[in-house]
């Protein structure tokens, strides 16, 4: 079983609320990623981090922000949720210095619904 945890699994929240999606891994992986995925659709990279205090924006523009204060923790925050943010958010990690022998380990995802 993967040692990467996302909470909550499901979240229904009102427009304008601030939310934080949690992602934690116990594997000591340096690299962590956030993907956004509409149900049954392709994945879009929105944020990634190569280590503590390192964060980068991904290929898909997102109004969310991330932080990486500790190696094991990579939370994603939406300051003001909107219905367009309704989606599934997947967190993943992989060890450095190379991903060639590992691929990614994924969490179970957070399904966010903004009403």
Selection from 101, 112, 100, 99 nearest residue 36 by Cα: 112
Annotate each residue in 50-89 with x if it binds other proteins (CB under 8 A) or - if it does not, as one string: x---------------------------------------
Q: Indicate whether 21 belongs to the interface with other proteins (CB under 8 A).
A: no
Give the 3-state secondary structure of the chain.
Answer: CCCEEEECCEEEECCCCCEEEEEEECCCCCEEEEEEECCCCCEEEEEEEEECCEEEECCCCCCCEECCCECCECCEEECCCCHHHCEEEEEEEECCCCCCCCCCEECCCEEEEEC
Q: In the complex with other proteins, which residue's Cβ is closer, 15 or 58?
A: 58
Would you count residue 27 as binding other proteins (CB under 8 A)? no
Residue closer to other proteins by CB (options 48, 64) is: 48
Judged by CB under 8 A, the residue of 20, 65, 67, 108 near other proteins is 108
Nearer to other proteins, 6 or 64 (CB): 6
Q: Give me the residues that bind other proteins (CB under 8 A), please.
A: 2, 6, 33, 40-43, 45, 48, 50, 90-92, 96-101, 103-109, 111
């Amino acid at each position: 079983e993967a040692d990467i945890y996302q909470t909550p699994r499901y979240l229904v929240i009102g427009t304008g609320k601030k939310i934080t999606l949690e992602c934690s891994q116990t594997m000591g992986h340096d690299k962590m990623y956030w993907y956004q995925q509409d149900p049954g659709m392709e994945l879009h990279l929105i944020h990634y981090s190569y280590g503590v205090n390192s964060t980068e924006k991904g290929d898909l523009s997102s109004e969310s922000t991330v932080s990486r204060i500790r190696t094991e923790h990579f939370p994603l925050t939406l300051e003001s949720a909107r219905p367009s943010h309704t989606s599934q958010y997947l967190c993943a990690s992989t060890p450095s210095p190379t991903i060639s022998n590992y691929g990614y380990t994924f969490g179970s995802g957070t399904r966010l619904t903004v009403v």
